Structure 1
Amino acid sequence: MEILGRERRRRWTQAEKLEIVAAVGVNGETLARVARRYEVSRSQIYQWRRQLRKRGLLPAPAGPTFLPVDIGAPMPSAEPVPEGRVVSPLMVELCLAQGRRLRFDCGIDATALTRLIRSVEVA
């Protein structure tokens, strides 16, 4: 095997890194498309994002995002309701990672709900 030359590394300026990282999410641009457009790996963009945040050049990720909730008609129950049992008309459906969904009564205890979400996410 003959080696004809040294591998060439590209050097990115701080401004170029900021431009590339900032392009993700603009007008629906995905990280993968931005990476292809600038011919860098996705992991490189993640690394630059982390470095820029650490240096204070990129704002920290926003806090929790609140989404609108439709409290309309009660959700249909798959099981028949036994006689004498009171059913709450307000059910909540929570969409978790990996397409998992939790449906629960709006009166559930916060501690119990937290434990339930954690156990489902770990599974």
Structure 2
Amino acid sequence: MGQITVFSGPERRRRWSDEQRLQILTEAFAPGACASDVARRHEISTGLLYTWRKKLAAQTAPSADDLSVTGFAEAIVVADPDAPRSGSGPALVVDLGRGRRMTIFPGASAVLVAAALRVLR
């Protein structure tokens, strides 16, 4: 007859529910939070935090089918002689990931920039 060895102690691989993962991610990436402190408190590696964040972003990202839909938006150009020229001065380039980039010129209104970033996010 063979011999059986039973190992007891803490389970090496823990299971996290989606709610627990989301709660930990929210805590770790809140403004002013330190991801390594949160990871240490929950006894997980910081690499696992970033893996969870990457998987969550992939789940919530629009699919290729959503991006292939084309449409038209009405554009209205209003000439304002007092407005600064958009070509003058430096521009801010925002890299949004997945090959998307937005250039913001000094003459752009804050409301327009906020709306465009909200749509492109």
TM (normalized to structure 2)? 0.40
TM (normalized to structure 1)? 0.40
